Structure 1
Amino acid sequence: MSASQENQVHVGRRAVVAAGATGLAVALTACGGGSKDSGGSDTVEPAGEGNGANGGAPLARTADVPEGGGLVLADQGVVVTQPKAGEFKAFSSKCTHQGCAVKGIADGVITCPCHNSTFDAATGEVTGGPATMPLPEKQIRVEGGSITLA
């Protein structure tokens, strides 16, 4: 291979790598949260500065978590649910199938928008694939109307 051909191949590889990285960024952005969806859930910012892992600041207020639904706290990587009145649960918001952020929470079911895996909002257990592993539970504390990571 001549020097000019080698440079052409090298530039071509750079273009492919750059295009691939751009495509990945676009795909990851598309999987990210939004605001309120029609499924009874919100993707929200924390209810205070920081998060429960940083000094116990609130993740959310109990009044903001709908019964039978929940909140996806994208910045903290947590989904908080209220399966029954006054019962709050928290799980990783990262789908165990391919790592997309879950989004919809309605009627006791957490849904991943990427491949439609579903999880029980009370236990995190898989209720519909392609995911085969439950969402990991996060330990929380509910005090005075605030929910924090334990």
Structure 2
Amino acid sequence: MGEDLHQSRRAVFASVGAGGLALAITACGSGTDTTTAGTAGESSAPQSSAPESGAPQAGGALAKTADIPVGGGTVFKDQKVVVTQPTEGEFKAFSAVCTHKGCVVGSVEGDAIVCPCHNSKFGIADGAVSAGPAEKPLPAQEIKVEGDQIMLA
């Protein structure tokens, strides 16, 4: 009986640990970060119309053009994509998964897409590494701009 009780306790601890890990992973990876370009002292209101309940299908609206600041960008964590507007009317999209260790990038600060895990930085115009430890650029993602809508291609 002592051995069965000991194994039963292990099973309870293992399942509680796995459930807690799943909850922590879900909490860390959800939501849409709407950090945008700005200078010190300015506050940026959240600027995103991305749906909160999952990734849009190809062709579905991701954001409005007005949601993406000129010289900055917006991270859509649920969709794992970051959309930037390096110059007025020029929209780019990149994978939001950092090429260093696979973290989802956290923000766009000035002209850099920033990964919060190890502070890698990528250019908003081309996804190129501007500060390591990442060594590879963020892969480009296909988007379409129709009117004021930005859609995943």
* Shorter-normalised TM range: 0.7 to 0.9
- Stretches of structure 1 that go unaligned for 5 or more consecutive residues are none
What is aligned with 2:105? Answer: 102
Per-residue CA deviation, residues 92-147 of structure 1 (Å, 9 max, x unaligned), is 11222222221211221000112211111111122222222221110111121211
Identity %: 41
In the alignment, the residues of structure 1 paired with residue 31 and residue 108 of structure 2 have an alpha-carbon distance, to the nearest angstrom, of 13
The alpha-carbon deviation at position 27 of structure 1 amounts to: 4.7
- 21-30 vs 63-72, which deviates more? 21-30
In the alignment, the residues of structure 2 paired with residue 45 and residue 144 of structure 1 have an alpha-carbon distance, to the nearest angstrom, of 15
In the alignment, the residues of structure 1 paired with residue 32 and residue 150 of structure 2 have an alpha-carbon distance, to the nearest angstrom, of 21
What is aligned with 2:41? Answer: none
- Whether the 8 Å contact between 2:72 and 2:86 is mirrored in structure 1 is yes
What is the identity, as a one-letter code, of the residue corresponding to 1:30? C
- Whether the 8 Å contact between 1:69 and 1:82 is mirrored in structure 2 is yes
- 26-35 vs 59-68, which deviates more? 26-35
Q: TM-score, normalised by structure 1?
A: 0.77
What is aligned with 2:56? Answer: 51
What is aligned with 1:142? Answer: 145
- Whether the 8 Å contact between 1:33 and 1:103 is mirrored in structure 2 is no
The alpha-carbon deviation at position 37 of structure 1 amounts to: 4.0
In the alignment, the residues of structure 1 paired with residue 85 and residue 36 of structure 2 have an alpha-carbon distance, to the nearest angstrom, of 17
Q: What is the aligned length?
A: 145
- Stretches of structure 2 that go unaligned for 5 or more consecutive residues are 39-43
In the alignment, the residues of structure 2 paired with residue 88 and residue 136 of structure 1 have an alpha-carbon distance, to the nearest angstrom, of 15
- Whether the 8 Å contact between 1:65 and 1:80 is mirrored in structure 2 is yes
Where 1:76 maps in the other structure, the secondary structure is coil
Where 1:59 maps in the other structure, the secondary structure is strand
